């Protein structure tokens, strides 16, 4: 079941899907700032018990969906020492998101390209702690 909510700008409705990837970082605050540069919007932040940590937070994608970002220190009891992995983000304009990557001076893990076999256009980039973030038009 999808639910529709208003995004933080109030401009367009957002469709939230029922799968929310969870990611864990040594510096979750820095990761949230990194994601904001791609166009993710700030969502809830629940501080951890240790100073400077995040127990739970959400970053909202304007085209729909969200990702959870937490401090590795606060998630270890529940998830262990999870590292690496990848997240795929469906977006309507991967060229605009790729332009943000270039403006940030980041190297592409996979360059912006059209993939005819998937009828998709997209790219991948590695975040500062090694997670691969892919952005593309393929929506299944």
Domain positions in the chain: 15-136
The pTM score is 0.75
Rg (CA), the chain: 15
Percent of the chain at pLDDT exceeding 90: 59
The pLDDT value given to residue 2: 39
How many contiguous H segments (helices) and E segments (strands) does the chain have?
3, 10
Torsion angle, CA of 80/78/128/135, rounded to 10 degrees? Answer: 120
Tell me the pLDDT tens digit for each residue of 13-62: 655 555 678 899 999 999 999 999 999 999 999 999 989 999 999 999 99
Q: Which CATH architecture has domain 15-136?
A: Roll (3.10)
Tell me the pLDDT tens digit for each residue of 113-134: 998 887 899 999 999 998 989 9
The pLDDT value given to residue 4: 45
The residues, ordered by sequence, that sit 6+ positions from 18 with a Cβ below 8 Å of its Cβ are 1, 2
* CA distance linking residue 12 with residue 27, whole number of Å: 31
* CA distance linking residue 65 with residue 16, whole number of Å: 4
Q: What are phi and psi of 126, to 5 degrees?
A: -100, 130
């Amino acid at each position: 079941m999808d639910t529709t909510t208003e995004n933080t700008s109030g401009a367009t409705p957002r469709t939230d899907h029922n799968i929310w990837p969870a990611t864990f970082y040594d510096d979750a605050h820095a990761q949230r700032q990194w994601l904001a540069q791609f166009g993710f919007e700030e969502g809830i932040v629940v501080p951890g018990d240790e100073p400077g940590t995040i127990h739970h937070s959400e970053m909202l994608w304007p085209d729909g969906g969200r990702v959870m970002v937490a401090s590795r220190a606060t998630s270890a009891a529940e998830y262990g020492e999870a590292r690496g992995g990848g997240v795929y983000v469906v977006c309507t304009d991967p060229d605009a998101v790729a332009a943000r990557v270039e403006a940030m001076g980041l190297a592409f893990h996979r360059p912006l390209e059209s993939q005819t076999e998937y009828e998709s256009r997209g790219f991948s980039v590695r975040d500062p702690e090694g997670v691969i973030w892919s952005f593309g038009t393929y929506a299944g």
